[in-house]
Structure 1
Amino acid sequence: MKNIIWVLFAAALLMTACADETTDVEKTEEDTTEQEKTEESTADTSDAKQNESEDEEKASGQSDKGETVQENISEPEYKIDENDSSVVPISEKGNEKAVLLTIDDVPDGHALNMAKTLKDLDAGAIFFVNGHFLETSEDKETVQQIHDMGFAIGNHTYNHELLPDLSTEEQEEEIVSLSDTIEDIIGERPQFFRAPHGANTDFTKQLVEDEGMVLMNWTYGYDYFEPYMDAEKLTEAMVTGKGPEADVPHSLLKPGANLLMHDREWTAEALEDIVIGLRDKGYEIVDPELIQTVN
């Protein structure tokens, strides 16, 4: 009898232990499951926050880029007067006492050095190119470099022919073919046009407008007169506006003057002193990017 009682007692203890163990296992499994849920929830929250942060960064980046693009878009401050080719302020930011620098017959050996000089002086200019100077890859690379330095590239016709002596078909070829060539080199069509010797026709005036270019001649220039093929004398003439040895005894320098120069050795040598001299007289050098264009 006692043996039976001990057996029953032992069995009861064993069942109790098993029950406790089962409870502990179930509790452990529940705790593990709960912990996994917590970790998953934390991971989901972390991922959500990370994604949100990335979205915010992207949005911020897009906003910053938008602001940068907006800042780089400048409103025109000047226009070219169609009557005398002078530079005229059209906004409050425009400076009445300003002049425009233009360089013709590019590239003919000195244009790149002239561009570097102007770049060092933080002075803008329009470089008017001719197609017959763009026959080699080196010449095209020169124009590309000038453009990459921030200077405007203008159309000065392909062969520098006197336009009134040409048929309308020939005039169109002289102008449009060069614009095509310029676009092939720098990726955009020119926005400024100057006829050789300043000789335009009614046909070319309309064609230039249709091509989206601003037509301009100039106020004065002296480097193509033999007496001024000297850096010192040229500097004096360009800064004062006087060219007595070219039958210009009075000054042509005035606010808005459109100054004509060429890709020449003596002009390249004089260029720095010309810019400094004009600034010493209180003149600002206009950035062509601020000139109103057709398109």
Structure 2
Amino acid sequence: MQKDQLFTRRRMLLAGAAALGAAGTAGLVAAGGDGEAVRAAAPAPVAGPQARQALKSSAFRLQPLIGDGPPKAAPRKLKVRTEPILQISGRGRHMMLTFDDGPNPEYTPHILDTLARYDVRAMFFLCGECVVENKGLVARMADEGHVVGNHTWTHPLLTTLSRKEIKSEMGRTSDIIEKTYGEHPQWFRAPYGAWNRAAFQLGAAMDMEPMAWTVDTTDWEEPGTSTIIDRVESGAAPGVVVLSHDAGGDRSQTVQAIHEWLPYLLDSGYHLTVPPRRL
């Protein structure tokens, strides 16, 4: 998708998607297909400013399970949700940082550098067509302990596609992520936050949980570095999932803003986490 098209559609669609309310406060919680609350394991904390300890990259690199061990039980099928997950457990002042639309060779490396400087892990929701052109950045995400999710192949508005087209967008992206990152993605985010029944059903069939966000930095509007900083700092709260972007337009403001708001969050006592791997 061309940058100008992405910018125009994002301005119209994300404004509506941002109206989503927060859901659940213990574990990753959203409404299930029958309205029943569904709870996933709470994410493991990452050390804050008082206890940042260097961790070996090999501890994070996710590898496919191989070998001649005893057969394992078939994985439990995911329940089909009717709403995406909007926040995480806030116990212990946990928050989660997420970045959409990449990877991008101009902006993603700077964001990864800043996260590494503060020993912080984040989630990156990747577009398949960007992965093809930037496989080294995806490998770096794996090596440095970041979690990646599926953000479709071309970033389309899913509500305008047929079920077959949605399946292709999601399936191709999961395949290239698995080949590049080392593991099948376990999380999915609909472009523009535009969800429909097919997206929820197909995501669950592909073993992916749907994740939205709590706080939108509005960096997709390029509102100015100070506005992005204020959005994050004023929106910070236990359980919050922050939405930022490392591609899809000029993200220089995002790159500059993270230098300010990331140390602010850490100094304020927040623990920035990623979801645990589902076995």
TM class, shorter-length: 0.5 to 0.7
Cα deviation, residue 225, structure 1: 5.1
3-state secondary structure, aligned to 2:256:
helix
Distance in structure 2 (CA, Å) of the matches to 1:286 and 1:178: 24
Distance in structure 2 (CA, Å) of the matches to 1:153 and 1:226: 24
Partner of residue 113 from structure 2, selected from 116, 120, 125? 116
Cα deviation, residue 168, structure 1: 0.2
> What residue in structure 2 maps to residue 97 of structure 1?
93
Report 1 or 2 for greater relative contact order, CA contacts < 8 Å, sequence distance ≥ 6.
2
Cα deviation, residue 287, structure 1: 3.2
Paired residue total: 196
> What do residues 216-239 of structure 1 show as CA deviations (whole Å, max 9, x unaligned)?
1101112335362x2233112211
Q: Summarize the Cα distance change of 1:226–1:199 in structure 2 as closer, same or farther, 3 Å threshold.
A: closer
> What residue in structure 2 maps to residue 87 of structure 1?
88
> What residue in structure 1 maps to residue 210 of structure 2?
215
Cα deviation, residue 144, structure 1: 1.2
Distance in structure 2 (CA, Å) of the matches to 1:183 and 1:258: 24
Q: Summarize the Cα distance change of 1:107–1:225 in structure 2 as closer, same or farther, 3 Å threshold.
A: closer
Residue 132 of structure 2 contacts residue 176 of structure 2 at CA under 8 Å; is this kept in 1? no
Q: Which runs of 5+ in 1 are unaligned?
A: 1-77, 90-94, 242-252
> What residue in structure 1 maps to residue 230 of structure 2?
236
> What do residues 196-247 of structure 1 show as CA deviations (whole Å, max 9, x unaligned)?
011111121121112111211101112335362x223311221112xxxxxx
Q: Summarize the Cα distance change of 1:178–1:227 in structure 2 as closer, same or farther, 3 Å threshold.
A: closer
Q: Which runs of 5+ in 2 are unaligned?
A: 1-25, 32-84
Structure 2 counterpart of 1:236, one-letter code: D
Stretches of 4+ aligned residues off by more than 6 angstroms: none
> What residue in structure 2 maps to residue 147 of structure 1?
142
Distance in structure 1 (CA, Å) of the matches to 2:218 and 2:237: 19
Q: Summarize the Cα distance change of 1:225–1:104 in structure 2 as closer, same or farther, 3 Å threshold.
A: closer
Distance in structure 2 (CA, Å) of the matches to 1:206 and 1:269: 38
Structure 2 counterpart of 1:85, one-letter code: L
Distance in structure 2 (CA, Å) of the matches to 1:153 and 1:206: 20
Q: Whose helix proportion is higher, 1 or 2? A: 1
Answering whether residue 255 of structure 2 is matched by residue 268 of structure 1, we say yes
> What do residues 14-52 of structure 1 show as CA deviations (whole Å, max 9, x unaligned)?
xxxxxxxxxxxxxxxxxxxxxxxxxxxxxxxxxxxxxxx
Residue 114 of structure 2 contacts residue 259 of structure 2 at CA under 8 Å; is this kept in 1? yes
